[in-house]
Amino acid sequence: MSLVVLGLSGALTHDPSAAIYVDGELIAAAEEERFTRQKHAKNAMPLHAARYVLREANLKARDVDVVAFPFGKVSLFGKARWHYAKRHWYAPDRALDAIFNGNRHYRRNVKKVRELLVALGINWADIEFDAVEHHIAHASSSYHLSGFEGKTAILGIDGKGEYATTFFGYGENGHIHKIKEFYDPDSLGQLYASFTEYLGFEMLDGEYKVMGMAPYGNPDLYDLSRLVHFDGKEITVNTELVNTIGLRRYKEGRKGYYFSQKLIDWLGPRRQGDIADDPYIHYAAAMQKMYEDISLQLIDTYLGDILRETGRLVFAGGGALNVKLNQKILALPYVKEFFVQPAASDAGTAVGAASFASWKRGVTPAKMEHVFLGPRYSTEECIDACESHLGHPVYEKTGNIVERAAELLNAGNPVAWCQGRMEFGPRALGGRSILGSPSYGGIANKINEQIKFRERWRPFCPSVLDTVAKDMIQTDHPAPYMTITFEVSEEWKSRIPEVVHEDGTSRVQIVEESTNPRYHALLKEMERLNGNGAVLNTSMNRRGEPMVCSPTDALNMFFGSDLEYLVLEDLLVTKRK
Contact 369, 149 (CB under 8 A): no
Q: Which amino acid is at 415?
A: V
Q: Is the pTM of this model over 0.85?
A: yes
pLDDT mean for each 10 residues of the chain (577 residues): 94 96 98 98 97 98 98 97 97 95 97 98 98 98 97 97 98 98 98 97 91 94 97 97 96 95 97 88 98 98 98 98 98 98 98 98 98 98 98 97 98 97 97 96 88 78 96 95 97 95 95 97 98 96 95 97 97 93
**Other residues' Cβ atoms within 10 Å of the Cβ of residue 107:** 11
**For residues 497 and 488, what is the distance between their CA atoms, to the nearest angstrom?**
10
**Other residues' Cβ atoms within 10 Å of the Cβ of residue 346:** 29
Contact 499, 462 (CB under 8 A): yes
DSSP letters of 209-233? HHHHHGGGS-TTSS--GGGEEE-SS
Is it true that the peptide bond before 215 is cis, omega within 30 degrees of 0?
no
Is it true that the peptide bond before 426 is cis, omega within 30 degrees of 0?
no
Closest of 326, 359, 327 to residue 344, by C-alpha: 326
Distances, alpha carbon 294 to alpha carbons 58, 183, 208, 229, in Å: 46, 16, 19, 10
- pLDDT at residue 457 in the model: 67
Q: Which domains does the chain possess? A: 4-142+347-360 (3.30.420.40), 188-339 (3.30.420.40), 379-574 (3.90.870.20)
- pLDDT at residue 275 in the model: 80
Angle of helix 349-360 relative to helix 134-146, nearest 10 degrees, comes to 80
